[in-house]
Amino acid sequence: MKLRTLLAAAALSACAGSALADGVGQVTLQSPISKPVSIIAGDAFWNCAGSACASGGATDQSLTVSACKTIVKTVGPVSAYSIGGSTLPANLLAKCNAAALAPTVASTAH
């Protein structure tokens, strides 16, 4: 009985570990930003610097146009938005980028 419990716990741990590994979020910015910024978008905490944003704790709930718009409103248009190997499709990425009227973080392009 104890062996079954240990095996079940090990199996659940392996599943949880792979689910967490799939939560890596990556955003590629169209233009680099001049200073690092942190953003909460979707259900994730994002760190942005240079021409990229990253999140180690993103879930599939963060792979939405709404979450993408939150990032875009702060740092400007993005050329790619992905979480755990899943990518926001081009048509939804275009809707996301429509929110980039004027980023609040200055870009390095003048």
One-character DSSP codes across 41-94: ETTEEEEEETTEEEESS--GGGSSHHHHHHHHHHH--EEEEEETTEE--HHHHH
Q: What local confidence, expressed as pLDDT, does residue 89 receive?
A: 96
Q: Establish if 6 belongs to a structural domain.
A: no
Q: What is the pLDDT of residue 60?
A: 81
Per-residue pLDDT tens, the chain, 110 aa: give them: 443 433 333 333 333 333 434 579 999 999 999 999 999 998 899 999 999 999 998 888 889 999 999 999 999 999 999 999 899 999 999 999 998 865 555 555 54
In a domain, 52, yes or no: yes
C-alpha 37/C-alpha 27 separation (Å) is 13
* Of 27, 61, 29, 57, residue with least CA distance to 45: 57
Residue 75 domain-assigned (yes or no): yes
Flag whether 66 is in a domain.
yes
Instruction: Please check whether residue 63 lies inside any domain of the structure.
Output: yes
11 found inside a domain: no
Between CA 19 and CA 101 the distance in angstroms is: 35
Residue 47 structural domain: 23-110
Distances in whole angstroms, Cα of residue 14 to Cα of each of 1, 11, 24, 104: 20, 5, 17, 41
Supply the pLDDT for residue 6: 34
In a domain, 13, yes or no: no
Into how many domains does the chain fold? Answer: 1
